[in-house]
Chain A
Amino acid sequence: MIELDETIESTGLANHQILVERIAAKHLDDYDEIGAKFAELAKFVIESERYFGKRLVNMKKAVEDITGTIETALNFEEIREDLLTLWRIVEEEKQIAEEQNKFVRSAKTVFFEAWVTTSLDKEAAERIKEASDGNCMISDESPVRDEKVPILIHECPSYLQAFGKLECAYGHPSSGDIDPIRIFAITFPILFGIMFADVAQGAIFVIAGIIFTLLRRNGKAEKGGDIIRYLLISGEMLIYIGISAIFFGFIFGEFFGPSGVIHPIFLFRIGPFQVGGFEPTQEPMMMLRFAILVGAIHLSLGLILKFINELRHKHYKLAPIPICSIWLLFGSLFMWAYWGGISNISKWFAEGSLMFVGLVVSPLIVILLVTGLAEGFTEGLGFTVEVFAETLSHSMSYSRLMALGLVHSAMNYLFLVLGGVEHGVFPLHSIPLITVGTILVMIIEGLVVFVHTLRLHWIEWFSEFHSGEGIPFKPFKST
């Protein structure tokens, strides 16, 4: 375009027409050339299509011939067994070759390291000697302190299988740590039950759990899609969480929501913390206090496990930290309860200042001293601030027990109101509506409550003592 503009300027507008014609003629020549080339190309394409078409037909014939000969010459059913055996042998060879790739080798020597369980180390040494005709050197080394050792994963008993899967999804316990699965299998249903407290819906869970367990024991777990398999695996877990939901349903008086069929059962009272005997929707603050108490107990359980882990690892210098954390946790909880809630926090620093020093400041100072002496005071200061913040935020986080419990109750209440249920009387026409409501609540609420229970365990509880960094021990097995 620029070239064109310049030419127009130089020759004047009168010559415009001639110029355009000249340029057009020049380009037309080009187009003719391209057109000729296209024609050539098209011819070539047609020819090659014919050529390859013929070859394709020939090849198809050849393939048909070969398959025909194989089918007539061999009876696959007869040689099936042989083929399978051969395949297994090849698989085994492949596995061995893959393992050998990890060896360090020179022209005449091979070097490898492997983990062996203590019970089998002599046998392993014997086998290696046997395989190498004694031309070998074996050194048996125990792991040094704090080395990451692979851990033996024991097969979970089938009644704990679902919990095992949930724990493994977070990570395996490190070597020497307690495997918390049994405690996990107790606390998980309890926290779930508090949020999903309902006698009737709990009973549905129990029934569903029994059906799923029976189906799985009859070997139906292999069939069906992913979701069906998950449900069948979680059969026993559904029974536990159902039982827990029934228990808390009685305590909070819920039967398809706060319908009035069951009245809350009072269990006991510790100071301002009351267990049972109130309806969560009527007295949410009572429920909040209960939730925080449950949280404190749950967290202290985790801290006790951490204490045991520290002892097992022989970290005696760090062992007082979890104990101080429990002191801090229950100390501040006591302060909170004694002075009448967070709104009276100013009293903590006035009348209650001595108590504040004893229950909140002292454990922090001890933690600072202990970590300071073990790892240096800069680290210690950071750690102490972390302990303080974590204790606060983790126990606050348990208030979701109250929030989700109330939401569960409120959602059920919505359907009770729509169905016209009053004072524990379910009219006939309300049954379809309650059924729909129950299905909805059990699916949506069930999923949300499940994930929150999991989250409370994974984040608040496991972070106290369960690193999840364990490497499972996978011994070499030829299949």
Chain B
Amino acid sequence: MDPIIISLIGLALAIGVPILSAAISIIICGTALAGVGTEKPELLSRLLITVVLGEALAIYGLLIAFMLLGKLPDITTMDAANKALIAGIIISVAAGAAGAGISYSGSSLIAATAENPKTFTSNVIGVVLSEALAIYGLLIAFMVIGQI
């Protein structure tokens, strides 16, 4: 297969899957947030963190896609193309996992905080740790791109 096609598949994965997972986490957390907003609007500013952390997943995908786009002219060998594909796969899997984590723990965090606002500080850890998963994937994807 043509190296360019392979690296383009990597690029598509790198932008597509993180955006999907960001969308899923925003859909789930955003609807939960809207429900809480009607009852306890004072909690909204705190709970907004779930939606924005979900959005950040798309940004990580965007970053890797940008970097791959910049590397496209250099990709001539199959070896480099495979690395581009692998980088795309890494960030998509990591963002997918982080998206699942944010969706589940984010919506639970919102419901729990609406019930008892004191639990926010301990429960938010679930959301931010899920989001950290994407950062680990991002770092490794980044290092793989650096080797192209």
Contact = CB atoms under 8 A, between A and B. Distances in A.
B104 interface: no
Contacts of A169: 45-46
A397 B59 contact: no
Interface stretch (B3-11, B26-34, B138-146): B138-146
Is the contact region of chain A dominated by helix, strand, or loop, or is it mixed?
A: helix
Given A171-B121, A410-B63, A396 B52 contact: no
Contacts of A20: none
Nearest to A394: B132
B132 A397 contact: yes
A393 B132 contact: yes
Contacts of B132: 393, 396-397
A230 B139 contact: no
12 contacts: A170-B121, A284-B146, A393-B132, A407-B66, A410-B63, A448-B52, A448-B55, A451-B48, A451-B56, A452-B56, A455-B49, A469-B121
Contacts of B136: 396
Interface residues of A, number: 29
A333 B121 CA distance: 29
B59 A447 contact: no
B128 interface: yes
Given A393-B132, A396-B135, A451-B48, A403 B124 contact: no
Interface residues of B, number: 27
A85 to B, nearest CB: 31
B53 A403 contact: no
B124 to A, nearest CB: 7
Across chains A and B, which 3 residue pairs bring their CB atoms closest together, nearest first? A451-B52, A410-B66, A459-B128
Interface string A397-431: 10110011011001100000000000000000000
B111 interface: no
B53 A468 contact: no
Given A284-B142, A285-B146, A451-B53, A406 B63 contact: yes
A285 B139 CA distance: 10
Contacts of A459: 124-125, 128
Nearest to B64: A403
Contacts of B53: 451, 455
Nearest to B56: A448
A448 B121 contact: no
A247 interface: no
B46 A407 contact: no
Contacts of A406: 63, 66
A404 B52 CA distance: 13
Nearest to A410: B66
Given A407-B62, A458-B124, A469-B121, 17 more contacts: A169-B46, A171-B121, A397-B132, A403-B59, A403-B63, A404-B59, A406-B66, A407-B60, A410-B63, A447-B52, A448-B55, A448-B59, A455-B53, A458-B128, A459-B125, A459-B128, A468-B121
Given A170-B121, A451-B49, A455-B49, A400 B135 contact: yes
A410 B66 CA distance: 7
Contacts of A404: 56, 59
A284 B64 CA distance: 12
Interface in B57-105: 59-60, 62-63, 66-67
A171 B117 CA distance: 10
A455 B49 CA distance: 8
B12 to A, nearest CB: 18
A448 B48 CA distance: 11
Contacts of A207: none
B49 A454 contact: yes
Contacts of A396: 132, 135-136, 139
